[in-house]
Structures are given as C-alpha cells and as structure tokens.
Amino acid sequence: MGAAMSLLLFSAAFAGAPDVPFTAYQLDNGLKVTLAPDHTVPFVCVNVWYDVGSKDEVPGRSGFAHLFEHLMFNGSKHADDDYFKPLQPLGARLNGSTTLDRTNYYECLPSEQLPLATFLEADRMGWLLDALTPTKLQNQKDVVRNERRQNYDNPPYGHAWLELLGHAYPEGHPYHIATIGKHEEIEAATLEDVSGFFRTWYVPNNASLVLTGDFDDAEARALVARYFGAVPRGPAAVHHPPAAPAVFTGEEKVKVTDKVPFEKVWIAWHSPALYAPGDAELDLAASALSEGKESRLYKALVHDKQLAQDVTAYQGSQAWESLFVVSATAASGHTGDELVAAIDTVLAGARKDGITATELEMGRKDFEVQFFRMVSTIQGKADILNGYVTRTGDAGYLQKDLARYTSTTVESVNAALRQWLPPDKRLVLTFVPEAK
C-alpha cells in the first residue's frame, strides 16, 4: 500500500498538489493524533494504524497480527458484542487490514456518529482483553484458518505469495512467512500467547489516530481526550529488523505443480525499502514496463507474441526491504519458460536502451488520475496521513514524498532499473498444471 500511496502522490506536482490541512498533536499516553477536517460531505472517518505487522511476530507464532484483525471485531469490555452491529445500521463503512508491516482499522460514518465510533475504537484499544475468552479465540482461529484455505490453499495460484516470501527471504527473516500465518501455529496459539502480543503492540504509544471529514475541531479533541486519553500507555514497542538485507547470490528457480489451468511465472528481485533511494524510480520503471496496452511487456507478451494472457510489474514497497515483481500467465499452449524468455528479452532491451521520456510521462499521467481519485475521499486522506505518520512520523510528509518523484529523471529511473533488476540474481517461481 505504501508504494501505491507514494505513486499516487507523485503526480500532484503536475496538476497542483491539493491542500490537505491538518493539525497534529500527541496525547500523554503517546497516541499520535491527526485531525484533517473536510466539510464537503457530512461524513467522518476514524482511522487507526498500529505499527505492527506479521514481521513483528516471534518464531513459532505466526499469524498473530492478522488474528487480531478478527479478534478486534468481537467485542471489548464496555461494548462486548459484535463490532459491526451498532455501526452497520447507520450506513457505516468499516473494516481492518493487516500487512507485513502494519495493522489498520477504520470506520466511516455520518458525522453525528463520531462519538460512537471514537468510543468503540478506543474501547478495543484499551480494553479488548477484558472481553477476550477462550471461546472467542477458538472461533476466530477457525475463521482465520478457513480464510487461509479460501484465499491461499485452495484457489489456483493462491499460495504464490507464500512461495515468493518463503524463497525470497531466509527462514528467520521477518518477511519469510506471509501475514496469514501457518495453520499449525495459529491453532497452537493460547489465550496467554495472544494476550501478550496484544499488550506489546496494541498500545496507544504504538498507534496513530487520524480523523478526517465533517467534524468540529473542539468536539473532536474533546472526544479523543475523553476516550483515547483514558487508555493506559503500554511498554515501548521494540522492532527487530534483519541484521542485513536479504540478497540473491544467483538465480533461484522454483517450480510448483498445482491444480492450475495454465502455467504462470513470477520473477522477483530484492529492491529498496519504501522511501529509500531507488524506490520511486522502480515505481516508475514498473509503470513503463507494464501499465497499459502500449507498455513494453504487454505489447511483447500479450499483443505481439500472444504468449501471455496478462502481465504485470510492480515495486512492492515495504518498510524494511522490498521485492520488485514481474508476473505473467501463459496463454493456452505456451509455457512458463517461454514467458521468462520473453520477459528477459524485454528487460534486456530496457536495460540497454532505457525507459524513454515519453514512457515516463505516460506513467505520470496515469498516476495523476489515481492520485486525485484517492485524495477526493475522506477515507483516502485518512490512509495517506496515517501512512505518513506511521512510517515517517510526519503527517505533512506529502511534499517530501512528491519531491521523490518530481526530482526523478529518465537517467535515474534507468540507473535503478539496471542496478536492481540484474538478470542473474533473482527468484523465478513457476506454477505448472498437474498432469491430467
């Protein structure tokens, strides 16, 4: 999400960056608060990010961050009921999400219901464990394991992401295991295990709250002080980044036989972390390679040679280190080896001749459309601001983020492409159909 958000913000320089006014302050318990009023519609969004993801789990206990994404909707001390029940009848949009790096919860609802959303969000931050029972825990462990079956184990190509992470990062690396976790480790989780994880990470001094939309500043501050100010400060959360970035020393080839209709390939390279030098350049290189029917990969693989049904490239930016990925699904009668060879031909041409100014400008225009679509909503603004606060500590990081892209040149994009996408140090993952 972070990379996509940064890309969206980039194009504002070309059409005038919209003003996103906000005020930021911090409660005594360490909670970072950002208020960004927007009176265009009578709605508000309450958005909380916790600086914890699956990368922060301890060995043998994977899936905890995502498990709490479910447990947080099962009631807390002063609201011990289904979290959706009081909000959905009001027309609220609410959900949560978990990644390798962070966890997010939000409610967007009519403005007059801001007190209710603020109370509910604060109550599960401060008093979730008071209402957590062995029965609730077991129910949600079953739900999460079923989600893994539905989204990863059973669908065609579903466990590709698990394979990519498992082979791109060595065992013990914080990114080695996907956010969904492992069945046996989820099932083995005890009430004591998950309670300890919650007390460590889901505390106000490891969280950021953003309110956007149609609210009165004084009322919002009073609500935040009343509900969130009462949540006790927790211990200082300590992240444990890897001692050194993961690297490929050569080309690693992995072939997976599965119940899939066509062969499909993923080629992955280790790449810079979110906001690190080269991150923005690879975002734009990915756009030039695969965005639109005139892009190099699409034109070569799908249109001209008709080897592939689809092809995409992206810079998967993450907090500590990233993966640049090219993936393609073979057309009927073609193989993953053919796809890899065709992708390599396109990339060799890109390394040799470079991305052109026209390709770069087309990418900028595409992102401009996406950017304005995102910042036109109060929910989009909340996520942008919370991403900046959590990753940089500065809700006003927008202009600095824009500068990463406005200062990017054809030369810097091509230098990053050549540096980070070598032909001989990468992972090639291929899914092939089972024999009929």
Query: Sign of dihedral through CA atoms 179, 159, 275, 11?
Result: negative
The two structure tokens encoding residue 263: 């062969």
**DSSP 3-state of 277:** coil
Token code pair at residue 3: 């990379």
Q: According to the model, what pLDDT value does residue 363 have?
A: 75
- Assess whether pLDDT exceeds 70 at residue 398: yes
Pick from 213, 240, 229: which is nearest to 112 by CA? 213
- 251 has pLDDT over 50: yes
Give one DSSP letter per residue of 43-95, joined into a string.
EEEEEEEES--GGGPPTT-TTHHHHHHHHTTS-BTTB-S-TTTTTGGGT-EEE
Structural tokens at position 432: 């092939």
CA dihedral (115, 118, 120, 122) positive or negative: negative
Topology of domain 29-228, per CATH?
Answer: Cytochrome Bc1 Complex; Chain A, domain 1 (3.30.830)
Res. 18: pLDDT tops 90: no
Question: Of 13, 6, 12, which Cα lies nearest the Cα of 284?
Answer: 6
Token representation of residue 317: 């930016």
**Cα–Cα distance, 329 to 339 (Å, whole number):** 8
Written in H, E and C, the secondary structure of 86-99 is: CCHHHCCEEEEEEC
Work out the pLDDT band at 405, boundaries 50, 70, 90: confident
- Integer Cα distance of 271 and 324 in angstroms: 6
Smallest Cα–Cα separation from 203: which of 140, 124, 104, 130?
Answer: 124
Residue 13 confidence (pLDDT): 38
The predicted model scores a pTM of 0.93
Question: Which pLDDT band holds residue 17 (cuts at 50, 70, 90)?
Answer: low
Q: Is the pLDDT of residue 11 over 50?
A: no
Q: Which pLDDT score, from 0 to 100, does residue 16 have?
A: 53
| Whole-number Å distance between alpha carbons of 162 and 158 | 8
- State the pLDDT at residue 365: 76
**Domain 251-433 class in CATH:** alpha beta
pLDDT (tens digit per residue) in 138-186: 999 999 999 999 999 999 999 999 999 999 999 999 999 999 999 999 9
What residue spans define the domains of the chain?
29-228, 251-433
Half-sphere exposure of 20 (CA within 13 A, CB side): 32
For the stretch 229-246, pLDDT in tens is 999 999 998 999 998 999
Question: What is the helix (H) or strand (E) element at residue 247, kind and residue range?
Answer: none
Place of tokens 């079953």: 142
The residues, any chain, with a CB within 8 Å of residue 201's CB and separated by 6 or more, are 50, 51, 52, 56, 65, 237
Residue 372: predicted pLDDT: 74
Decide if 29-228 and 251-433 have a common fold.
yes
Position 373 confidence tier, pLDDT thresholds 50, 70, 90: confident
The values of phi and psi at residue 79, to 5°, are: -150, 65
- pLDDT tens track for 106-124: 999 999 999 999 999 999 9
How many whole angstroms separate alpha carbon 30 and alpha carbon 18? 30
Query: What mean pLDDT is predicted for residues 403-412?
Result: 87
Whether 407 shows a pLDDT value over 50: the answer reads yes
DSSP state, 235? Answer: P
pLDDT band at 5 (very low <50, low <70, confident <90, very high): very low
User: In this predicted model, which residue has the larger pLDDT, 296 or 404?
Assistant: 296
Q: Is the pLDDT of residue 10 over 60?
A: no
Neighbours of 194 (CB within 10 A): 20
Kindly state the percentage of the chain with pLDDT values over 90. Answer: 86
Question: CA-CA distance, 20 to 377, in Å (whole number)?
Answer: 11
Average model confidence (pLDDT) across the chain: 93
Beta bridge partners of 325: 268, 314
Q: How far are the Cα atoms of 235, 387, 390, 399, 401 from residue 17, in angstroms, in the given order?
A: 39, 18, 22, 8, 12
